[in-house]
Structure 1
Amino acid sequence: MDASEYIKDKQLVIFELDDVLFPEKDYLLQVYYLFSRFIEYTEQKNAQPILEFMRNEYENIGTENLFQKTANQFGIDTKYEYNFNLLHQNARLPLKLLLYKNMLEFMQALVVDRKKIVIVTTGNPEQQLNKIKQTEWNGLEQYLTVYFVEELGQPKAEIFQNILSDNNLLASQALVVGANKFDEQQSKSINLQYIVSLEIYK
């Protein structure tokens, strides 16, 4: 659907970050690249097979126990798990994270129409902030208000409700854009309209 159809009666739009504004894998694969290079430098182990292994495990199975699997496969000392986890939080990425084209255009349309843009993101707050800092926002960063779920220690539905209250808005005046069933459930529990990010095009 055309983006204007979603926002014509809205004053505020709430977004999740990962797999909504950009692919989470664009961040994680760069973290794995940096970790494999770190191991190559410190342990003289070839980075390329390590990176390929991590990429394949992530794409086929996910992130669970990825360090342990990689350490077992390549004989990497478990002391490096600290470095692996730290890179997730503070990695300086070789390449900036790029917004999905439809999300970039949608957010630009929101700015033109003077709608408020809010990000409510789940995950390690330091890691999520690191992603935000290394995203190419094309000037949109000055229009963003960001809430970190773990930092606030509240359910998303409660955070959504507080955002509405702080902006003196009804649920009918806001929209949530997400990419998972949990966000959909949290939104609908307080009567917020919810759409999947892939449904938006301009």
Structure 2
Amino acid sequence: MAFEEYIKDKKAFILGLDNVLYPEKDYLLQVYYLFAEFIEYTEQINAAEIIAFMQSEFAAHGDENIFEKTAVKFNIPEKYKTNFELLHENARLPLKLLLYQQVLSFLQEVVVERKEIFLLVDGEPLQQVNKIKQLEWHGLEKYLKVYFSQEFVPKPATKSIEFILDQHALKKNDILMIGNTLEDEDFALNVGVDYLTITKLL
């Protein structure tokens, strides 16, 4: 069993979403593509040039203020920011989002071992639900229990995991949390549960 060392002593696993289950850029770059197509249709600005700029900007600086930078570059009216934000919440993607292959294999082994999988998802719930619906789960979706950290006291406060433990009659040493940020690691430390950075699986 490839992941036995991580699975054998635990009853449940708590994972994040973005850059833990799948690469977040796979979602954002498709949103940018749809936005560029929309702007070409409404403003007759070349979509390919917008997409190329947004991809380059994202690669260099991430998604922060990317609408504003693109609007300045192409003289896109501010009114379209609402459309840009709504696309993040309700975009129907051209392509399914794919789990990291190693994460897929890990979750399949967890299911075979009849252990529990929880998603504790950061970010705006409507947007995150849209991502979850468009992930290719390979049948794993029926084994997931999903919680949104925004519905609790923000991290690094421990209310969210304490709620999960209480609801599912679990102890702290039953849990392995898997994340990808220093905040995730500090969060697990505050709770007192074991932590694994996703890079160890990938």
Q: TM-score, normalised by structure 2?
A: 0.96
Q: What's 2:166 paired with?
A: 165
Instruction: Give the superposition deviation at 1:170.
Output: 1.4
Q: Distance in 1 between matches of 2:200 and 2:155?
A: 25
Separation (CA, whole Å) in 1 of partners of 2:119 and 2:112 = 18
- Structure 2 CA distance for aligned equivalents of residues 155 and 23 of structure 1: 22
- The correspondence of residues 118-133 of structure 1 with structure 2, limited to 5 A, is 118-133=118-133
CA distance, structure 1, for counterparts of residue 81 and residue 146 of structure 2: 29
Asked whether 1:62 is paired with 2:62, we answer: yes
Between 1 and 2, higher relative CO (CA 8 Å, sep ≥ 6) is seen in 1
Q: Distance in 2 between matches of 1:44 and 1:192?
A: 53
Paired position in structure 2 for 1:152: 152
Paired with 1:200 and 1:36, the residues of 2 have a C-alpha distance of 35
Tell me the SS of whatever aligns to 1:123.
coil
Indicate if the aligned counterparts of 2:12 and 2:117 stay in contact, CA closer than 8 A.
Answer: yes
Question: What residue in structure 1 maps to residue 48 of structure 2?
Answer: 48
Report the CA distance between 1:153 and its aligned residue: 4.2
Find the counterpart in structure 2 of residue 25 from structure 1.
Answer: 25
Q: Secondary structure at the match of 1:28?
A: helix
Aligned to 1:188: 189
Q: Runs of 4 or more off by more than 4 Å in structure 1?
A: none
Match of 2:141 in 1: 141
What is the Cα-based RMSD across aligned positions, in Å? 1.3
C-alpha deviation, 1:84, in angstroms? 0.4
Residue 201 (structure 2) pairs with residue 200 (structure 1): yes
**How many residue pairs are counted as aligned between the two chains?**
201
Q: Aligned partners of 1:87 and 1:103: how far apart in 2?
A: 27
Report the secondary structure of 1:5's partner residue: helix
Pairing 1:79-98 to 2, within 5 Å after superposition: 79-98=79-98
Per the TM alignment, residue 169 of structure 1 is displaced from its structure 2 partner at its CA by 1.5
Aligned partners of 1:154, 1:63: CA distance in 2, in Å? Answer: 22
SS of 1:19's equivalent?
coil
8 Å contact from structure 2 (residues 152, 159) kept in 1: no
Instruction: Return the alpha-carbon distance in structure 2 between the equivalents of residues 152 and 93 of structure 1.
Output: 29
Q: Which moved more, 1:166-175 or 1:147-156?
A: 147-156
Per the TM alignment, residue 154 of structure 1 is displaced from its structure 2 partner at its CA by 4.4
Deviations 1:96-137 (A, max 9, x none): 000000000000001000010000011010000000000000
8 Å contact kept, 1:2–1:200:
no
| Identity across matched positions, percent | 50
Q: Letter of the aligned partner of 2:181 in structure 1?
A: N
8 Å contact from structure 1 (residues 118, 145) kept in 2: yes
Shift in Å, 1:145: 0.5
Instruction: Provide structure 1 residue ranges, at least 5 long, that are not aligned to the other structure.
Output: none
Aligned partners of 2:200, 2:11: CA distance in 1, in Å?
Answer: 19
Structure 2 runs not aligned, ≥5 long: none
Shift, 1:172, TM fit: 0.9
